Homo-oligomer: A and B are copies of this chain.
Amino acid sequence: MRRDIFQAIADPTRRAIITLIAIQAMTPNAIAENFNSTRQAISKHLRILTECEIVKQEQQGREIYYSLEVEKMKEIDKWLEQFRNIWETNFNQLDVLLANMKKQSKK
């Protein structure tokens, strides 16, 4: 069972949950009200998000408040980092390769 942050954000419902609780901590019932699927389905999503440590829980009596572990989102940012300098220098790698190949073939 793969359980990483990229797997976690692959599902649109989970992305929506992340966005929801980023603003304010919420209980599973409150979260589920924003979707068409059952509370149990949302509960399963929350479990996955918890296993990935994107989400943290805080028990308040019989209610559990879920909120975003913002730090974890930085991991996505960190992975993107390697592409940032590529898209900042507006540099087409394929063009370069093909240009080189044409140069080679002329030799």
Footprint of B on A, CB under 8 Å?
2, 4, 6-7, 9-10, 12, 15, 19, 21-25, 56, 58, 60, 65, 67-68, 70-71, 73-74, 76-77, 79-80, 82-84, 86-87, 92-94, 97-98, 101
A97/B6 in contact, CB under 8 A: no
A93/B24 in contact, CB under 8 A: yes
User: How far apart are the CA atoms of A9 and B11 in the complex, in Å?
Assistant: 11
User: How far apart are the CA atoms of A97 and B83 in the complex, in Å?
Assistant: 37
Q: Which 9 A-B pairs have the closest CB atoms?
A: A10-B10, A67-B94, A25-B94, A70-B87, A25-B97, A73-B83, A70-B86, A6-B10, A7-B10
Task: List 21 interface pairs A-B (beta carbons < 8 Å), by A numbering.
Answer: A2-B12, A6-B15, A7-B10, A9-B10, A15-B79, A19-B82, A21-B93, A22-B82, A23-B93, A24-B93, A25-B93, A58-B98, A60-B98, A60-B101, A65-B94, A65-B98, A68-B86, A68-B93, A70-B83, A70-B87, A80-B80
